[in-house]
Amino acid sequence: MAVQSGKDLLVKVDLTGDGQFETVAGLRATRISFNAETVDVTSLESAGGWRELLAGAGVKTAAISGSGVFRDANTDERARQIFFDGEVPLFQVVIPDFGIVEGAFQITALEYAGSHNGEASYELSLASAGALTFTAL
C-alpha cells in the first residue's frame, strides 16, 4: 500500500437524512479511533494464573475528532444544529485505500477559536451512538 495523503481522510455528515453525505467544511486535521472494553474472566483455574478475557464481550466505541478553519458553510450550520438539538445523525469517515466507516454519532464537543491576526478555527469531537458499518475500498 502506498503512502496516503492526510487530506484524503474525510469526515462527512448526512445533511438531510437522505443518505447523501457531504464533507464537513474547513477541516484540516481529522482522526478516528476505535476502542473495545475488556471483560476479565480470570479465575483460580486460569492456566498459569494468566488473565483470561471473554471474547466478544465489552462495549465497543468509536471517536472522531477534527479541527480546521471555520467557513460557515452548510455543513458548519448542520454541525451546530446537531449539537444544540442533541441529534445523532449518520456520519461517514473515508479512510483512503482502506474503507468507509458509517454510523450514528453524537457531537460531544464543538469549539471555536480565533486571534486578532489569524483565521477563525473550530474543533469538533464525536462519539459513536450505535452500531457502525465498515465497507472496504
DSSP string, 35-80: EE---B---TTSGGG---B-TT-S-EEEEEEEEEE----HHHHHHH
Question: Residue 23: its pLDDT value, please?
Answer: 93
Q: Hey, CA dihedral for 81, 84, 87, 91, is it positive or negative?
A: positive
Q: What's the chain's Rg over C-alpha atoms?
A: 19
Question: Residue 30: its pLDDT value, please?
Answer: 92
58 within domain boundaries: yes
Question: Residue 1: its pLDDT value, please?
Answer: 61
Question: Are residues 96 and 136 in contact, defined by beta-carbon separation less than 8 angstroms?
Answer: no
**The domain that contains 27 carries what CATH number?**
2.30.110
1 within domain boundaries: no
Domain around 104 = 6-136
Q: In the chain, how many domains are there?
A: 1
Q: Which three cell numbers stand for residue 92?
A: 461517514
Question: Are residues 105 and 92 in contact, defined by beta-carbon separation less than 8 angstroms?
Answer: no
> Which positions ≥6 away from 48 have C-beta within 8 Å?
none
pTM assigned to the model: 0.87
Give per-residue pLDDT as tens, 25-76: 899 999 999 999 999 999 999 999 999 999 999 999 999 999 999 888 888 8
Longest dimension (CA), the chain: 65
Residue 81, helix vs strand vs coil: helix
21 within domain boundaries: yes
